[in-house]
């Protein structure tokens, strides 16, 4: 088969990478009888989803290695911490996803070719929240 006959369709490329950290929290805005108002913990997974209008270098949206500053931030600031003690908002997965998107856009995105599409925060295998970045 002659692979040069295959036309590449037009469209967009996207990548995703998952990071993890362990942390505790409680949601103080809930009634005392709600189980999430009590101190508890999660093995969080944070997924970054990125896109780019053109592929960089050998054919990357963004080199996965360029996302290392985000992993370092999670490890240094969130891992094995109580989120309600360090964040200036109620540490729900929804708000955490939005906050992490803001941090990424400010501190990582200016130095990479890709653009953040969404951040997904998973507390358990069955529950997650996603924040989609408004496109400008």
Residue 4: inside a domain: no
Sequence-distant (≥ 6) Cβ neighbours of residue 101 within 8 angstroms: 116, 118, 119, 131, 133
Residue 2: inside a domain: no
Question: Count of domains in the chain?
Answer: 1
Q: What is the pTM of this model?
A: 0.93
Torsion of CA 56, 58, 62, 66, to 10 degrees: -120
Q: What is the CATH number of the domain that holds 122?
A: 3.30.479.10
Residue 3: inside a domain: no
Q: Which residue has the higher pLDDT, 132 or 1?
A: 132
Nearest to 15, CA basis, from 52, 56, 50: 50
CA 4/CA 98 separation, integer angstroms: 43
pLDDT at 136: 67
pLDDT at 17: 98
Residue 91: inside a domain: yes
What is the domain extent for residue 86?
11-132
Residue 5: inside a domain: no
Give the model confidence (pLDDT) of 88-132 as tens digits.
999 999 999 999 999 999 999 999 999 999 999 999 999 999 999
Strand, helix or coil for residue 36? helix
Phi, psi of 71 (to 5 degrees): -60, -40
Ranges assigned E (strand) in the chain: 13-25, 40-52, 81-82, 115-124, 127-132
Give the model confidence (pLDDT) of 52-95 as tens digits.
989 998 999 999 999 999 999 999 999 999 999 999 999 999 99
Give the model confidence (pLDDT) of 32-48 as tens digits.
999 988 889 999 999 99
């Amino acid at each position: 088969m002659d692979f040069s006959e295959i036309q590449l369709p037009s469209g967009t490329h996207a990548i995703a990478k998952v990071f993890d950290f362990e942390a505790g929290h409680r949601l103080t805005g809930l009634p005392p009888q709600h189980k999430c108002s009590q101190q508890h913990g999660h093995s969080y997974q944070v997924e970054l989803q990125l896109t780019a209008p053109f592929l960089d270098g050998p054919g990357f949206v963004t080199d996965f290695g360029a996302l290392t500053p985000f992993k370092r931030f999670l490890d240094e600031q969130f891992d094995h911490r109580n989120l309600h003690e360090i964040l200036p908002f109620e540490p729900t997965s929804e708000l955490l996803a939005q906050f992490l998107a803001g941090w990424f856009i400010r501190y990582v995105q200016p130095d990479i070719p890709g653009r953040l599409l969404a951040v997904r925060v998973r507390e358990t295998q069955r529950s997650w929240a996603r924040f989609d970045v408004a496109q400008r």
